[in-house]
Amino acid sequence: MAREPTETDGDDGSGDATRRGLLRAAAGATVAGAASTAGCLSVSTPAGVAAEYEVTGNVAHFVGPGWLAENRDDVVVLDARNAERFREGRIYGARRVPFDAITSRRHADDGAVPDADAVAAAFGSVGVAPDDDVLVCGASVGSRVTRTAFALAAIGHRGEIKVLNGGLDGWNGRLGTGSGRDVSAAEYEADPAPSTWVTREWLVERIGSFNDGGPGLVDVRVPEAYLAAAGSAVLNDDHERHGHLPGAIDVHWVGNVSGRRMTDPGRLVQLYEGEAGLDRSGTVVVYGDDNVDPTSTWLTLRAIGFEDVRVYDGGFREWANADDRGRHPVETATNVVVETEGSVGGDDSSGDFSCTG
Amino acid sequence: MSPGGAADAADGGASGAAGGDAGDAPERVVAVPCEGADVLALFDLATGDALGEVPVGSHPVHATTCRGRTFVATMGERSVTAVDPDGEVTRVDTGVLGPSHFASANGELYVSCSAGDVIAAIDPVELTLIDRIGVGAEPHELAVGPDERRLYSGSRRDGVVDVVSTAAHEWVGAVDAGPEARVQGVALASDGHRGYAVDQDGGRVVAFAPDAVGNADARGAASDETNTQEGAVLGEAPVGGDPYDLVVSADRVFVPGRADGTVHEFSPDLTLEAVHEGFSRPVDLFKTNGRWWVLDAEAARLRSLDGAVVDTSAPGLVAAPVGGGRFVVSHYDDDRVSLVDVAEGTVWTADAPAYPFGAVVV
Collapse the DSSP code of B60 into the 3-class scheme (helix H, G, I; strand E, B; otherwise coil) and give the result.
Answer: strand
Query: What's the pLDDT score for residue A349?
Result: 38
Do A141 and A70 lie in one domain? The reply is yes
Q: Note whether B187 and B206 are within 8 A (CB).
A: no
Chain B nearest C-alpha distance from A248 (Å): 11
Residue count of chain B = 362
Alpha-carbon gap, residue A220 to A296, rounded angstroms = 9
Nearest by CB to A208, from B93, B114, B135: name it: B93
State whether A213 and A319 are in the same domain.
Answer: yes
CA distances from A79 to A146, A167, A168 (A): 11, 9, 9
**Do the Cβ atoms of A243 and B117 come within 8 Å?**
yes
Query: Which residue on chain A is closest to B118 by alpha carbon?
Result: A326
**Does A353 fall in a domain?**
no
Closest CA to B284 of B59, B32, B12: B12
Same domain, A170 and A216: no
Residue A295 to chain B, least CA–CA distance (Å): 26
Domain annotation covers residue A289: yes
Q: What is the CATH number of domain B29-292?
A: 2.130.10.10
Query: Is residue A98 domain-shared with residue A201, that is, in the same domain?
Result: no
B-chain residue closest to A331, CA distance: B116
Judge residue A12's burial from the number of C-beta atoms within 10 Å of its C-beta, 0-12 exposed, 13-18 middle, 19 or more buried.
Answer: exposed
Cα B96 from Cα B75, distance rounded (Å): 10
Q: What is the pLDDT of residues B175-191, one digit of tens each?
A: 999 989 999 999 999 99
Identify the closest residue of chain B to A242 by CA–CA distance.
B137
Least confident of A16-20, A95-99, B87-91, B93-97: A16-20
Q: Is the same domain home to A152 and A199?
A: no
DSSP classification of residue B217: P
Q: Is residue A46 part of a domain?
A: yes
- Residues A293 and A103 sit within 8 Å (Cβ to Cβ): no
Residue A253 domain-assigned?
Answer: yes
Report the pLDDT value the prediction gives residue A91, as an integer from 0 to 100: 94
The answer as to whether A183 is a domain residue is no
Question: Coil, strand, or helix at residue B196?
Answer: strand
pLDDT at B236 over 70: yes
The angle at the Cα of B277, spanning B273 to B280, to the nearest 5 degrees, equals 140
A239 with A311, same domain: the answer is yes
Q: Please report the pLDDT score of residue B289 as a whole number.
A: 84
* Mean pLDDT, range A45-69, rounded to an integer: 84
Which of A323, A327, A331 has the CB atom closest to B116's CB atom?
A331
- Please indicate whether, in this complex, the C-beta atoms of A331 and B131 are within 8 angstroms of each other: no
Interatomic CA distance for residues B143 and B185, integer angstroms: 9
Residues of A with CB under 8 A from a CB of B: 207-208, 212, 228, 230, 241-243, 246-247, 323-334
Specify whether A273 is located in the same domain as A143: no
Task: Give the pLDDT of residue A336.
Answer: 67
Query: Confidence band (pLDDT; 50, 70, 90) for A345?
Result: low
Global pTM reads 0.84
Question: Which is more confident, A230 or A329?
Answer: A329
Give B117's contacts in chain A (Cβ within 8 Å). Answer: 241, 243, 325, 329-332
Domain with A332, as residue range(s), is 194-344
Helices (H), B72-183: none
Q: Test A326 with B75 for CB contact under 8 angstroms.
A: no
How distant, in Å, are the alpha carbons of A108, A252, A253, A318, A328 from that of A200? 10, 21, 21, 8, 9
Nearest to B233 by CA among B145, B187, B150, B174: B174
Query: What φ, ψ does residue B113 adopt, rounded to 5°?
Result: -100, 95
Give the other-Cβ count within 10 Å of A183's Cβ.
18
Q: How distant is the Cα of B156 from the closest Cα of chain A, in angstroms?
A: 11
pLDDT band at A64 (very low <50, low <70, confident <90, very high): very high
User: A35-39, A123-127, B168-172 — which is least confidently predicted?
Assistant: A35-39
Contact B318, B284 (CB under 8 A): yes
Residues A137 and A158: their CA atoms lie apart, in Å, by 19
The verdict on a CB contact (< 8 Å) between B137 and A228 is yes
Whole-number average pLDDT of chain B: 89
The amino acid present at A102, given as its one-letter code, is: I
Asked if the model's pLDDT at residue B21 lies above 60, the reply is no
Based on the structure, what is the number of domains in chain A? 2
Strands B326-331 and B318-323: antiparallel
**What's residue A48's pLDDT?**
72
Task: Assess whether pLDDT exceeds 50 at residue A106.
Answer: yes
> What CATH number is associated with residue A254?
3.40.250.10
| Calpha distance B242→B139 (Å, rounded) | 18
The ipTM of this complex is 0.84
Q: What pLDDT does residue A340 have? A: 73
Spatial contact of A62 and A265, defined as CB atoms under 8 Å apart = no
> What does the pLDDT read at residue A190?
97
Of A243, A330, A333, the CB nearest to B114: A333
Determine whether the interchain pair B219/A325 forms a contact, defined as Cβ–Cβ distance below 8 Å.
yes
% of chain B with per-residue pLDDT over 70: 88
Nearest CA in chain B to A244: B116
Nearest to A243 among B76, B95, B137 (CB): B137
For the segment A140-167, what is each residue's pLDDT rounded down to a tens digit? Answer: 999 999 999 999 999 999 999 999 999 9
The reply to whether residue B116 touches residue A212, judged by beta carbons under 8 angstroms, is: no
Strand, coil or helix: A207: coil
**Chain A CA closest to residue B136:** A241
pLDDT (0 to 100) of residue A197: 98
Residue B221 has pLDDT above 50, yes or no: no
- For A207, the closest chain B residue by CA position comes to B95
Q: Which of B97, B135, B171 sits opposite A246 (nearest CB)?
A: B97
- Do the chains contact at B118 and A333, CB–CB below 8 Å? no
pLDDT in tens, B132-148: 999 999 999 999 999 99
Q: Strand B326-331: give its sheet, edge to edge.
A: B318-323, B326-331, B336-341, B345-351
Q: What's chain A's Rg over C-alpha atoms?
A: 20
The answer to the question of residue A65 being in a domain is: yes
Final residue before a domain boundary, out of A176, A211, A233: A176
Q: Is the Cβ pair A208, B138 closer than 8 Å? A: no
A144 and A47 in a single domain? The answer is yes
Closest chain A residue by Cα to residue B78: A208
Interhelix angle for A143-154 vs A116-125, to 10°? 110
Q: Does B118 touch chain A (CB under 8 A)?
A: yes
In whole angstroms, give the CA distance from residue B158 to residue B259.
Answer: 23
Asked if residue A222 and residue A78 are part of one domain, the reply reads: no
Q: Which residues of chain A make contact with B96, given a CB cutoff of 8 A?
A: 207-208, 246, 329, 331
Would residue A349 count as lying in a domain? no
Residues ≥6 apart with Cβ < 8 Å to B164: B119, B133, B135, B150, B151, B152, B153, B170, B171, B172
Residues in chain B within 8 Å Cβ distance of A329: 95-96, 113, 116-118, 132, 134
Distances from the Cα of A309 to the Cα of A112, A280, A282, A305, angstroms: 17, 9, 8, 10
Cα–Cα–Cα angle for A21, A25, A29, rounded to 5 degrees = 165
Q: Which residues of B touch A324 (CB under 8 A)?
A: 134, 220
**Domain ranges (residues) in chain B:** 29-292
User: Which H or E run contains B128?
Assistant: strand B128-134
**B116, closest residue in chain A (CA to CA):** A331
The partner residue sitting opposite B115, judged by closest CB among A212, A230, A332, is A332
Q: Produce one character per residue of B123-155: b if its CB has 16 or more CB atoms within 10 Å, e if not.
A: ebeebebebbbbbbbbbbbbbbbeebbbbbbbb
Short-list A61, A88, A50, A81, CA closest to A169: A50
pLDDT digits (tens, 9 = 90+) for B297-347: 999 999 999 999 999 999 999 999 999 999 999 999 999 999 999 999 999
The interface residues of chain B toward chain A in range 54-83, judged by CB-CB distance below 8 A, are 75-76, 78-79
Confidence of residue A334 (pLDDT cuts 50, 70, 90): low
